[in-house]
Amino acid sequence: MSTAAIRGAITVEKNSAFEIEKAAVVLLEHIIQKNNLQRNNIAFLFFTCTRDLDSQYPAAGIRHAGYTEIPMMCVAEMPVKDSLERCIRILVVVNADGNQEVRHVYLEGAKKLRPDLSD
């Protein structure tokens, strides 16, 4: 058994608990769908948020959506001058069989972070 790491990011319109939770769930569900993942194959989730998002942890939204068995960590993104604002980033680490196709997901304003990977 090996692991695979899947990246993603999404932006929110405003710094509110509702927006942060909703965006985190949308992002994770897109990643699960695009990568054909099973919930029990997710080893852990690692979130970062830009420092202008301080109303809620993204993990709270994921737990409220029923993903209570997955270990999660949330940290502040390092502040970089002129970087994208109101952005949630995720690293999904999955237990894979070595044939896991990895499709990274960038949504909303975060598409500009990796236009080469955005649909």
**Which one of 7, 19, 21, 87 is the catalytic residue?**
7
Cα 100 from Cα 78, distance rounded (Å): 30
7 is catalytic: yes
Known catalytic membership, residue 74: yes
114 belongs to the catalytic site: yes
What's the rounded Cα separation, in Å, for the pair 103 and 31?
7
Select which of 29, 103, 108, 114 is catalytic.
114
Closest CA to 41 of 88, 10, 2, 74: 2
How many Å apart are CA 98 and CA 118, to the nearest integer?
24
* Catalytic residue from among 29, 63, 103, 108: 63
Active site residue 57: no
| 51 belongs to the catalytic site | no
Task: Name the active-site residue from 19, 49, 67, 74.
Answer: 74
Q: Is the dihedral of CA 28, 32, 38, 43 positive or negative?
A: negative
Active-site annotation holder among 21, 57, 77, 86 = 77
User: Catalytic annotation on 89?
Assistant: yes
Task: Tell me which residues are annotated as active site.
Answer: 7, 63, 74, 77, 89, 106, 114
